[in-house]
């Protein structure tokens, strides 16, 4: 166990949770700007970076027993943490709780903290096809399961055969794909806070390594050409509404490049909101609200955020920098 920088008093419950974890890093008053792809976010009272599934389950169940507020995240790539930070405990599964295992001719089991680029590389090395669409997505397996990550007509849920999850009593079980309610950017785990994703087994297809690699290379090039990969963001800001393209609607309203504070509608792809320099969560949320209002007024479409927002606003009188 490694202790991070000390901050304000976090109470005996958080100290008890931290001291019980043998294979984890624990950080007090840790700025979440260091742990999200947006590079935005106030401090978390206790950030747990579990090195094992056992530690993750222990921290999660102890929080429930002690009534400590608790959030579980993957690699923080579709996350906006508010400027006041996160009270209680936050468990970041990726990349610490990771691992891959070939479980059958066409099956791979990946622990929830495994980063998608590592999973894709393993599938390529094993000559297994089906994940090529996910090139360039920086998230974790647990996050991809929970949000049913997808791109280019593919999605994670279509590949999942079963998921191992923990319940609040600390027991683990396997849940079949037919019970997971996969739909567009949604799964059972997005609505249940009494289940903790530990690993997922994927059923892939046999493929030719050079063909898989060529598709991956092409997808990577398309992403680099169209998306603002060189500046901090949390991926697509809004879910795609049926019958519409988010970026095209926003661009048609002249909002491409629009800024509030350090937050900006990407000049490269209007479906992304980027941290153009020292953006606060307040900047991002105000810009998202502006975009939503303009799209609603012009197209009658309610844009739903794809970015997950957690945390609190700063206390009155507190300045965010």
> Phi/psi of residue 140, each to 5°?
-110, 165
In a shared domain, residues 120 and 23: no
In a shared domain, residues 160 and 62: no
> Please, what is the end-to-end C-alpha distance for the chain in angstroms?
31
Q: Where are the alpha helices (DSSP H) in 116-208?
A: 116-125, 141-146, 188-191
306 is catalytic: yes
Give the active site residue among 25, 111, 185, 219.
185
**pLDDT (mean) for 102-120:** 96
Residue 43: which residues within 8 A CB-CB, separation 6 or more?
Answer: 7, 29, 30, 31, 32, 85, 86
In a shared domain, residues 138 and 79: no
In a domain, 223, yes or no: no
| pLDDT confidence tier of residue 97, bands split at 50, 70 and 90 | confident
**Domain stops at, among 92, 110, 125:** 92
Helices H, strands E: what count in the chain? 8, 20
**Domain stops at, among 47, 70, 92:** 92
The three-point CA angle 74-78-79 to 5° equals 80
Distances (CA, A) of 188 to 142, 145, 262: 12, 9, 35
Q: Give CA–CA dist 282/268, Å, rounded.
A: 22
What CATH number did the domain enclosing 277 receive?
3.90.78.10
Complete DSSP assignment for 138-154: --BHHHHHHTT-EETTE
Supply the DSSP symbol for 22: S
Indicate the pTM of the whole model.
0.92
In a shared domain, residues 106 and 203: yes
Q: Give CA–CA dist 9/120, Å, rounded.
A: 42
Q: Give CA–CA dist 102/157, Å, rounded.
A: 19
Is residue 191 scored above 60 in pLDDT? Answer: yes
At 14-62, the pLDDT tens digits run 999 999 999 999 999 999 999 999 999 999 999 999 999 999 999 999 9
39 is catalytic: no
**Domain stops at, among 45, 63, 92:** 92
In a shared domain, residues 79 and 40: yes
In a domain, 12, yes or no: yes
- Looking at the structure of the chain, the number of domains it has is 3
Give the active site residue among 29, 140, 236, 266.
236
Q: Which residue has the tokens 């609040």?
A: 168
Provide the pLDDT for residue 1.
41
At 246-290, the pLDDT tens digits run 999 999 999 999 999 999 999 999 999 999 999 999 999 999 999
In a domain, 131, yes or no: yes
Q: Other C-beta atoms within 10 Å of 14: how many?
A: 21
What domain range is 162 assigned to?
100-207
In a shared domain, residues 293 and 238: yes
What CATH number did the domain enclosing 35 receive?
3.30.43.10
Give the active site residue among 107, 259, 306, 320.
306
185 is catalytic: yes
| pLDDT confidence tier of residue 96, bands split at 50, 70 and 90 | confident
At 4-16, the pLDDT tens digits run 443 443 578 999 9
């Amino acid at each position: 166990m490694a202790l991070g920088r000390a901050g304000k008093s976090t109470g005996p419950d958080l100290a008890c949770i931290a001291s019980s974890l043998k294979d984890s890093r624990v950080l007090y008053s840790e700025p979440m700007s260091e742990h999200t792809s947006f590079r935005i976010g106030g401090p978390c009272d206790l950030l747990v970076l579990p090195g094992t599934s056992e530690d993750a389950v222990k921290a999660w169940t102890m929080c429930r027993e002690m009534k400590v507020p608790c959030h579980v995240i993957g690699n923080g790539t579709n996350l906006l943490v508010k400027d006041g930070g996160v009270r209680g405990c936050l468990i970041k599964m990726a990349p610490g709780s990771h691992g891959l295992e070939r479980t059958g001719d066409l099956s791979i089991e990946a622990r929830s903290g495994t980063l998608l680029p590592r999973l894709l590389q393993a599938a390529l090395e094993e000559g297994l096809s089906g994940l090529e669409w996910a090139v360039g997505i920086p998230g974790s397996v647990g996050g991809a399961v929970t949000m049913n990550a997808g791109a280019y007509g593919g999605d994670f849920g279509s590949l999942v055969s079963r998921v191992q999850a923990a319940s609040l009593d600390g027991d683990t079980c396997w849940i079949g794909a037919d019970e997971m309610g996969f739909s567009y950017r949604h799964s059972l785990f997005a609505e249940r806070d009494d289940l903790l994703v530990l690993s997922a087994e994927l059923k892939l297809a046999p493929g030719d390594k050079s063909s898989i690699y060529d598709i991956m290379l092409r997808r990577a090039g398309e992403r680099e050409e169209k998306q603002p990969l060189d500046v901090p963001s949390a991926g697509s800001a809004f879910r795609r509404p049926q019958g519409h393209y988010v970026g095209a609607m926003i661009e048609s309203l002249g909002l491409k490049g629009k800024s509030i504070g350090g937050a900006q509608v990407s000049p490269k792809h209007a479906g992304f909101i980027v941290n153009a320099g020292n953006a606060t969560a307040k900047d991002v949320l105000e810009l998202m609200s502006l975009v939503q209002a303009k799209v609603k007024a012009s197209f009658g479409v309610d844009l739903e955020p794809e970015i997950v927002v957690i945390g609190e606003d700063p206390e009155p009188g507190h300045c965010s920098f």
